[in-house]
C-alpha cells in the first residue's frame, strides 16, 4: 500500500490528504479563517482577500505535508514559510485556537502587504524627485491613464503629467516618503493615508487608491505566476502573465487529450480505483467509508454525506468530499434509485450559480445518471432532516 501511495497515488494522496486534517475539526478554524479573512473589517483586507487566497492556499497546503511544494508550488508560496503554521494547525483541534494563529498570520500578511504597497509608493517617489517627467513618472501616470479612462481620455498628456507631477512634487519637498501624516479624510469605506503635503482632494485620492489596488493585484499575480519576480514593470509582468496563461491553456488541452486516450470505459472505474489511494490518504474517515461501502443502502452520511451540503447555502466547512462521492459512484453502479428527488433542489442551486448568488451548483441535475441519484436522494433526505449544517 505504501508503494502504491508513493507511485500513482502521490498526487491524489496529496490532493486528499488535506481532508482528514480538516475532518478533525480544524475545520472549524479553517473556514473561520477564510470567512474572517473574506469579510475582514478593513476594506483593504477585502483586497487582500484575494491575495490572501494564495497565503491561505499555502497554509492549507501545509496540511498535506508540503507535498504541494513538489507539485511546483501550486500556489506559489515557499514551503518553509509554512513550517510555523503547520505546527499550529496540525496541533490544534479547536476552532478558536486555530483561528487565532490564522488571524494573526492573516494580519501579519495584511501588514506585509500594506507595507510593500506603501513602500512601493515611497519607492516610486524618489525617481520622480529628480524631476524627470519620463519613464518612471510616466509609468506611474500611465497606470492612471490606463484606468482613469472614464475621467478624461482626451486630456492632453502634458496637462495630465503636469497635474500628476504637481501632486507628487508637493509630496516630495516637505517630507519625501513620510507616510505618517494623518491627513486622511475618511473616503467612503477606504481609509487612505495621505502622504504629507500631498493633495487630498478626492480625485488624487481616488487615483492613489486605484493605483494601490492595482499594484496589490499585480503583486499577487506576481506571486502566482512563477518567474514574475524577476521582472519589474507592468508591461513585462503582463507579458509573463500572458505567456503563463497561454501555456496553462495549452497544458490543459494536452492533458485532456491524454485523458481522452484513456479508454472511456475506465471513467466509470476511475473513482473506485482512485478510492483505494484515497483510503491511505484519508485515514480515520476511511474506515467509515468502507463500512459504508459494505452496506449497500441508506448511507448514514453524517460525516461525509455533506458532499452536497457544502454547496448548500450554509456550507462553510470543508470535508472529505471525495470519498463519499466516489463511494456513491461506485455503489450506484449496482444500485438503482429514483433520481427525481434531486431535480428540484438542483435546479434551484443552478439558478444560484447563474444569479451570482449562492454556490451549490454541484447538485447538478442528475436526473439522467442514476449514480447521482444516490447522492441526490441522500441529500434530499438530509434536506428534510431540517438542518443544513455539517456534523462531525
Partner 1 sequence: MHAPGRFKKAFMEQLLLGLRAAGQASKSMGLRERRDAVRLSSDVAMALASSSARGAPPPHGATASWARALVARHAAERRNEALLRRIMGGAGYEMALAAAAAARGRKDARSRRIVRRSRRVLSAGRKKRTASGGGGGGAMAARRMVKARMKVLRTLVPGADGLRGFSLLSETLDYVACLKTQVELLQCLCKGSRSRLG
Site for partner 1 in 362-381 (CB under 8 A): 362, 364-369, 371-372
Q: Does 225 bind partner 1 (CB under 8 A)?
A: yes
Provide the β-strand partners of residue 190: 187
Q: In angstroms, what is the minimal distance from the CB of 221 to partner 1? A: 6
Of the pair 161, 199, the CB lying nearest partner 1 is at 161
Q: In angstroms, what is the minimal distance from the CB of 93 to partner 1? A: 17
Cβ atoms of 367 and 340 closer than 8 Å: yes
Of 109, 101, 124, nearest in space to 47 by CA = 109
Site track for partner 1 across 115-144, x = CB under 8 A = ------------------xxx-xxx-xxx-
Phi then psi for 190, rounded to 5 degrees?
Answer: -105, 125
Q: Does 145 bind partner 1 (CB under 8 A)?
A: yes
Among 184, 201, 239, 391, binds partner 1 (CB under 8 A): 239
Of the pair 257, 385, the CB lying nearest partner 1 is at 257
Among 44, 192, 194, 329, binds partner 1 (CB under 8 A): 329
Q: Does 235 bind partner 1 (CB under 8 A)?
A: yes
Of 223, 244, 222, nearest in space to 234 by CA = 222
Of the pair 30, 199, the CB lying nearest partner 1 is at 30
Of the pair 267, 392, the CB lying nearest partner 1 is at 267
Q: Does 201 bind partner 1 (CB under 8 A)?
A: no
Q: For residue 261, how many other CB atoms are within 10 A of its CB?
A: 7
Among 220, 286, 327, 390, binds partner 1 (CB under 8 A): 220
Q: Does 7 bind partner 1 (CB under 8 A)?
A: yes
Q: Does 164 bind partner 1 (CB under 8 A)?
A: no
Q: Does 95 bind partner 1 (CB under 8 A)?
A: no
Residues 10-69 touching partner 1, rule: CB under 8 A, are 10-12, 15-16, 18-19, 22, 30-31, 34-35, 37-39, 49-50, 52-54, 56-57, 60-61, 63
Mark the segment that binds partner 1 (CB under 8 A) among 77-85, 105-113, 229-237, 377-385: 229-237
Residues 288-327 touching partner 1, rule: CB under 8 A, are 307, 310-311, 313-316, 318, 321-322, 325-326
Of the pair 56, 195, the CB lying nearest partner 1 is at 56
Amino acid at each position: 500500500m505504501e508503494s502504491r501511495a508513493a507511485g500513482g497515488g502521490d498526487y491524489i494522496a496529496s490532493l486528499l490528504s488535506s481532508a482528514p486534517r480538516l475532518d478533525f475539526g480544524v475545520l472549524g478554524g479553517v473556514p473561520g479563517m477564510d470567512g474572517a479573512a473574506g469579510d475582514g473589517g478593513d476594506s483593504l483586507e477585502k483586497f487582500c482577500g484575494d491575495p490572501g487566497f494564495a497565503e491561505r492556499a499555502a497554509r492549507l497546503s501545509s496540511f498535506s505535508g508540503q507535498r504541494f511544494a513538489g507539485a511546483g508550488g501550486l500556489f506559489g508560496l515557499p514551503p518553509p514559510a509554512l513550517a510555523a503554521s503547520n505546527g499550529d494547525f496540525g496541533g490544534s483541534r479547536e476552532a478558536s485556537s486555530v483561528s487565532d494563529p490564522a488571524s494573526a498570520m492573516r494580519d501579519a500578511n495584511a501588514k506585509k502587504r500594506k507595507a510593500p504597497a506603501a513602500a512601493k509608493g515611497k519607492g516610486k517617489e524618489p525617481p520622480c524627485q529628480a524631476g524627470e517627467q519620463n519613464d518612471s513618472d510616466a509609468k506611474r501616470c500611465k497606470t492612471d491613464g490606463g484606468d482613469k479612462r472614464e475621467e478624461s481620455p482626451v486630456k492632453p498628456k502634458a496637462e495630465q503629467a503636469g497635474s500628476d507631477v504637481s501632486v507628487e512634487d508637493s509630496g516630495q519637498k516637505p517630507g519625501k516618503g513620510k507616510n505618517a501624516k494623518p491627513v486622511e479624510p475618511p473616503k467612503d469605506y477606504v481609509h487612505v493615508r495621505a502622504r504629507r503635503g500631498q493633495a487630498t482632494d478626492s480625485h488624487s485620492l481616488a487615483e492613489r487608491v486605484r493605483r494601490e489596488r492595482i499594484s496589490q493585484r499585480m503583486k499577487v499575480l506576481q506571486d502566482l505566476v512563477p518567474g514574475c519576480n524577476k521582472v519589474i514593470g507592468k508591461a513585462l509582468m503582463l507579458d509573463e502573465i500572458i505567456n503563463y496563461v497561454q501555456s496553462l491553456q495549452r497544458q490543459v488541452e494536452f492533458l485532456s487529450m491524454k485523458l481522452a486516450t484513456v479508454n472511456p470505459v475506465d471513467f466509470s472505474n476511475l473513482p473506485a480505483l482512485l478510492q483505494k489511494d484515497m483510503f491511505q490518504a484519508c485515514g480515520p474517515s476511511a474506515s467509515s467509508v468502507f463500512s459504508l461501502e459494505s452496506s449497500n443502502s441508506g448511507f448514514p452520511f453524517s460525516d461525509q454525506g455533506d458532499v452536497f451540503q457544502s454547496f448548500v447555502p450554509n456550507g462553510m466547512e470543508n470535508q472529505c468530499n471525495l470519498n463519499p462521492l466516489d463511494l456513491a459512484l461506485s455503489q450506484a453502479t449496482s444500485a438503482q434509485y429514483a433520481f427525481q428527488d434531486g431535480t428540484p433542489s438542483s435546479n434551484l442551486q443552478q439558478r444560484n450559480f447563474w444569479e451570482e448568488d449562492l454556490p451549490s451548483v454541484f447538485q447538478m441535475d442528475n436526473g439522467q445518471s442514476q449514480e447521482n441519484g444516490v447522492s441526490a436522494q441522500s441529500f434530499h433526505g438530509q434536506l428534510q432532516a431540517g438542518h443544513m449544517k455539517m456534523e462531525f
